């Protein structure tokens, strides 16, 4: 081994030890977490150099492969790395694990790759990696690993609309977790199974599973999971047609979000409860919910959610025929969409303004808004929506022509 290679691998091994020490301290939370992140920022360039050195030699050197295999410390590195960097490190680690015939590590890297692709929205690729990880977990007799991989597969299949496969994997995850007494995994996957069943329009079954999951999460004391489940219970109750139960679930979600100091979740529950009150034609309550949600989103600096919520407020004022108030909210929502570069949201707000102007018989203004909305939807790669807006343009042009003839 050349001196240069020895130096490179010594450097890689040294900073691998630094990385794992930081990862251990980060996992402790609180002050240790903050200190670990500060030190990570100081050492990151050397850590990245160490990984690159190990990966460069890993193809034909077992020592280098052993180092490269251990470099991904995803919980910590994901805070600073882009998904592309994480993929690169995991792919190098996967090759190293396969070279060294380290099946457990290979399964772990495959599962981590599946998670990264799932978070990036590439669920087809995620499924490929999860299937590979599941096969290895079954080969190893690793039941906990099998539960995790089936859970990942189930959620990705939900996103792909392959609901029978999703339900199959999630039911098996629940069953396995129950068999080994892993209450946390069982509760989590009962909730995931509820999501799959709701997507399959099996709302009554979904509600049963959400309620079972909620009872278990309450026993475990995990309030963030409880918050998610209460929102899911509200959604399926709305689909079933039980508005009062829906409101009760949202109120519980709001109370829990306040307890957690989770402004975004509180805003979401308030906004969703506003939708329920709007559907019940209790417009005063709907407005109160939407306005309270706006305050939470503003405090949480959740600009996109605030824009959608302001659009909902505008819709209520249109129903009440308070058109000036409606326009005020639509224009603010439009400003947010433009500032954030969200062309689809921009198209929606412009379309709302067009409809509003049409109702007031301000046909020139309506046409101007509809044309801009159509352009925005085309730029958002939503040509079908743009076509619907063009139908509105044709309708308003006809109304304008008739109005001119009447004059």
Q: What is the pLDDT of residues 233-285, one digit of tens each?
A: 999 999 999 999 999 999 999 999 999 999 999 999 999 999 999 999 999 99
Model confidence, pTM: 0.81
Do 227 and 258 form a contact (C-beta atoms < 8 A)? no
Q: Which of 348, 334, 393 is nearest to 367 (CA)?
A: 393
Concatenated DSSP letters of 89-132: HHHHHHHHHHHTT-HHHHHHHHHHHHHHHHHTT-HHHHHHHHHH
Q: What is the pLDDT of residue 75?
A: 72
| % of the chain at pLDDT higher than 90 | 88
Kindly state the average pLDDT of the residues 296-324: 95
Q: What is the pLDDT of residue 99?
A: 96
Tens-place pLDDT, residues 69-92:
999 876 777 788 888 999 999 999
Average pLDDT, the chain: 93
CATH code 3.90.1150.10 for 302-407: no
Q: What is the pLDDT of residue 68?
A: 95
Tens-place pLDDT, residues 133-190:
999 999 999 999 999 999 999 999 999 999 999 999 999 999 999 999 999 999 999 9
Q: What is the pLDDT of residue 127?
A: 97
Q: What is the pLDDT of residue 402?
A: 74
pLDDT of 17 higher than 90: yes
Tens-place pLDDT, residues 98-119:
999 999 999 999 999 999 999 9
Do 209 and 197 form a contact (C-beta atoms < 8 A)? yes
pLDDT of 395 higher than 90: yes
pLDDT of 3 higher than 90: no
Q: What is the pLDDT of residue 83?
A: 87
Report the distance separating Cα 364 and Cα 161, nearest Å.
42
Kindly state the average pLDDT of the residues 329-333: 96
* N-to-C CA span, the chain: 94
């Amino acid at each position: 081994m050349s001196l240069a290679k020895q130096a490179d691998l010594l450097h890689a091994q040294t900073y691998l030890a630094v990385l794992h020490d930081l990862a251990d301290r980060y996992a402790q939370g609180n002050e240790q977490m903050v200190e670990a992140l500060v030190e990570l920022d100081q050492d990151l360039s050397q850590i990245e150099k160490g990984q690159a050195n190990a990966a460069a030699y890993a193809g034909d050197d077992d020592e280098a492969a052993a180092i490269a295999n251990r470099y991904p410390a995803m919980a910590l590195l994901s805070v600073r790395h882009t998904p592309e960097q994480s993929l690169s490190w995991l792919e190098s680690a996967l090759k190293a694990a396969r070279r060294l015939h380290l099946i457990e590590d290979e399964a772990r890297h495959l599962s981590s790759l599946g998670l990264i692709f799932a978070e990036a929205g590439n669920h087809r690729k995620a499924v490929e990696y999860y299937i590979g990880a599941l096969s290895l977990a079954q080969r190893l007799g690793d039941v906990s690993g099998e539960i995790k991989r089936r859970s990942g597969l189930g959620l990705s299949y939900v996103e792909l609309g392959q609901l029978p496969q999703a339900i199959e994997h999630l039911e098996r995850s629940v069953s396995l977790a129950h068999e080994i007494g892993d209450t946390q995994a069982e509760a989590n996957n009962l909730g995931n199974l509820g999501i799959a069943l709701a997507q399959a329009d099996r709302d009554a079954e979904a509600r049963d599973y959400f309620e079972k999951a909620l009872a278990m999460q309450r026993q475990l004391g995990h309030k963030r999971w409880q918050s998610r489940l209460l929102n899911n219970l509200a959604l399926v109750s709305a689909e079933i047609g039980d508005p009062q139960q829906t409101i009760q679930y949202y109120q519980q979600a709001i109370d829990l979000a306040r307890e957690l100091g989770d402004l975004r979740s509180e805003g979401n529950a308030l906004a969703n409860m506003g939708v329920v009150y709007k559907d019940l034609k209790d417009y005063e309550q709907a407005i109160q919910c939407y306005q309270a949600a706006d305050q939470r989103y503003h405090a949480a600096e959740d600009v996109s959610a605030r824009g959608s919520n302001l659009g909902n407020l505008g819709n209520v004022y249109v129903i009440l025929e308070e058109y000036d108030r409606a326009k005020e909210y639509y224009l603010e929502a439009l400003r947010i969409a433009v500032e954030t570069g969200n062309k689809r949201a921009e198209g929606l707000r412009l379309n709302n303004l067009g409809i509003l102007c049409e109702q007031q018989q301000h046909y020139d203004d309506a046409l101007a808004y509809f044309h801009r909305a159509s352009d925005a939807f085309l730029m958002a790669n939503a040509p079908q929506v743009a076509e619907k807006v063009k139908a509105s343009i044709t309708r308003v042009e006809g109304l304008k022509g008739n109005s001119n003839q009447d004059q």
